[in-house]
Each structure stands twice: as C-alpha cells, then as structure tokens.
Amino acid sequence: MVSEFSITRTVEFAETDMAGIMHFSNYFRWMESCETAFLRSLGLSLASFVPGQVVGWPRVSAKCDFRVPLRFGDTVEVRLYVKEIRTRAVVFLFQFRKLAKGKPEPDILSQGELVCVSVTSDAKGRMVSQPIPPEYRGKLRMAPKQAWQTED
C-alpha cells in the first residue's frame, strides 16, 4: 500500500503570464497530472469506461494556497500525499517545492488539495457515488500526518 508519490516538472513559458509567473490554473493541472501518474504507478486508472465496471473520480473540492510564485524555468517537485481515505472519497494533498541539485528544497511554495469521489453509472447512465472499489482501497494507505503537516 502506498501513501505518497512525486513527479518533477519544469515551468514552461506557455504556463506563465507575461511576468513569467506560473498561472494559477496550472497548479491544478499539475496536481491532476501527479494524481494520474500516482494511480498509473499502482496499475489503476483515473477513469474506466468498461460497461459494468464504470469508475470515475470527479472532484468535489479543489483548492490551492499560493505562498511563493513559480516562475518560468523553475524545476519543481510536486509531491502527493494520501491525506484521507473515506468510504466514497479520497483526499489528496499536494506540496510544491523547488528542486536544487535534484533535491527538494525545504520551503513549500504552494500546497493544494483535491477531494475525489468514487463514482459509477446507474442503469440510466447517471453518475452516482459508490464505495471506493476494493482494487483501489487495497493499494492506498493514508500518509502519516507528520509527513505532510506544516507548522504554518
């Protein structure tokens, strides 16, 4: 069972505003990229469209607190923590840190959170929440609070 995962990204020019600062919307894209890579690393998918096995993970809450801006050319670690596993939802926490000589610096530049609900489709094709499928629950573990909690 896994409780954390990370990816490395470099801020591209197209992801910035004219001042060279990464646009806020890209933090959410990077969080979702990290989540997708995390699930893929476990042999799981963010969405399955197989009839009778439809599973999806829509977001019911998404937030990001920005402390220090990311700028064009910055290389960043995006670290995902499994903050909470509920009956029908998973809460992922993401921390953004600059990399220096391949290692994350101690300061958290931004921190975000996604609450993702497990859904399937009913007989009429409507999306309905469901308990987290066993193949997902069996591969996820909550990260210890001391791994992701900050003092601010």
Catalytic residue list: 17
Q: d(Cα 88, Cα 36) in Å, to the nearest integer?
A: 18
| C-beta of residue 88 within 8 angstroms of C-beta of residue 131 | yes
Whether the CA torsion 111, 61, 36, 45 is positive or negative: it is: positive
Owner of token pair 């801006």: 69
| C-beta of residue 54 within 8 angstroms of C-beta of residue 120 | yes
